[in-house]
């Protein structure tokens, strides 16, 4: 299982990474591996706002559909439109080209409630 050491994680398998004033979010390598081949990603609208823990979209694979949860509250400023034509990018590059949303955080202190890479690794390994 690959981890992005610059990211924070949720037990529900989303990752976030700070890029300037924005937060980039996707699903972890562990999550994409568990889902198998991703075939579709449902995104929110740019401009939508969500609270921490709210569902912001769905990722569908050949095995299952899974809700996506906001790791931090904020306003959506971009969605990865490349995934509409190439959802498999989530499988091949979950921390790079497979990112899902970018958002402007509402409360930066929520960053501190997320899991470190080492803590997330323990969560993921416990599921195997």
- Domain-by-domain residue ranges, the chain? 8-105
Quick: pLDDT tens for 36-54: 999 999 999 999 999 999 9
User: What pLDDT, on the 0 to 100 scale, is given for residue 32?
Assistant: 96
User: What pLDDT, on the 0 to 100 scale, is given for residue 82?
Assistant: 98
The list of the chain residues with pLDDT below 70 reads none
pTM for the whole structure: 0.96
Name the architecture of domain 8-105: Beta Barrel (2.40)
User: What pLDDT, on the 0 to 100 scale, is given for residue 128?
Assistant: 81
How is the chain classified by DSSP, letter by letter? ----TT-EE-TTSEEEEEETTEEEEEE-HHHHHHH-SEEEEE---TT-EE-TT-EEEEEEESS-EEEEE-SS-EEEEEE-THHHH-TTHHHH-TTTTT--EEEEES-GGGGGGSBPHHHHHHHHHHH-
User: What pLDDT, on the 0 to 100 scale, is given for residue 71?
Assistant: 97
């Amino acid at each position: 299982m690959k981890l992005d050491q610059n990211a924070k994680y949720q037990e529900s398998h989303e990752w976030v990474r700070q890029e300037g004033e924005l937060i980039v979010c996707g699903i972890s390598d562990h999550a994409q591996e568990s889902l198998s081949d991703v075939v579709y990603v449902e995104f929110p609208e740019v401009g939508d706002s969500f609270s921490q823990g709210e569902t912001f979209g769905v990722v569908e694979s050949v095995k299952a559909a899974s809700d996506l949860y906001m790791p931090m509250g904020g306003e959506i400023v971009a969605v990865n439109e490349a995934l509409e034509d190439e959802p498999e990018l989530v499988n091949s590059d979950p921390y790079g080209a497979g990112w899902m949303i970018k958002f402007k955080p509402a409360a930066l202190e929520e960053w501190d409630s997320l899991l470190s890479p080492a803590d997330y690794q323990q969560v993921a390994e416990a599921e195997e």
